[in-house]
Homo-oligomer: A and B are copies of this chain.
């Protein structure tokens, strides 16, 4: 099922909102509750659901539990997703120390670095030398890598991990990387995020 990126992002948001509602004791939800929680309109919610064949009950809304099951299955959250982090520097180690991914069923299986000082093989979350990345990817069946290496190394590391079977990359280097057919790159570009914010703040300032 090929679908727009935005639609999948909204699914993630619905899921998060549903967990919150569940925590608050709710059992069912209406499209406009979810819409409010996520910041879209009710029609968008229902349309998104219809794309994935998710249906609710006329008058009764949606059972949160069932809804979560379906969304989780679509998003692949019904099974543990293992990822690796390449580059155990500032960003890389912040990510590796972060506990929030586990709650989401995303496990950082290992980190990799070229700096021998960073290697820590016997940790719960081991940091391994980059030379071992191929074996690790193959043996663990890893599909996703987070790239947190210096800008200059990013393309070469991408080429390496793609050649080892990685199919998706979350890249923190503020560069446009070229990826082989069949490998998806999502960029987290904080410079651009800030620039964007600065622009809109300045515009609001001016038009005030």
Contacts from A to B (Cβ < 8 Å)? 1-2, 5, 8-9, 11-13, 16-17, 37-39, 74-77, 81, 83, 90-91, 93-95, 97-98, 100-101, 104, 106, 143-144, 146, 151, 167-170, 174, 176, 182, 184, 186, 188, 190-205, 207
Shortest CB-to-CB span from A167 to chain B, Å, is 5
A81 to B193 Cα, complex, angstroms: 13
Measured between beta carbons, the chain B residues less than 8 angstroms from A75 are 195, 198-199
Cβ of A188 and Cβ of B193 under 8 Å apart? yes
A168 to B195 Cα, complex, angstroms: 11
Shortest CB-to-CB span from A196 to chain B, Å, is 5
Given contacts A176-B38, A203-B1, contact A101 B186 (CB under 8 A): no
Given contacts A91-B94, A184-B204, A205-B167, contact A9 B196 (CB under 8 A): yes
Measured between beta carbons, the chain B residues less than 8 angstroms from A17 are 176
Q: List 29 A-B contacts (CB under 8 A).
A: A1-B203, A2-B203, A8-B196, A8-B200, A38-B176, A76-B195, A76-B198, A81-B198, A83-B194, A90-B98, A91-B98, A94-B94, A95-B190, A100-B191, A106-B191, A106-B195, A106-B198, A143-B201, A144-B194, A144-B198, A167-B205, A168-B201, A170-B194, A170-B197, A184-B201, A186-B193, A186-B197, A188-B190, A188-B193
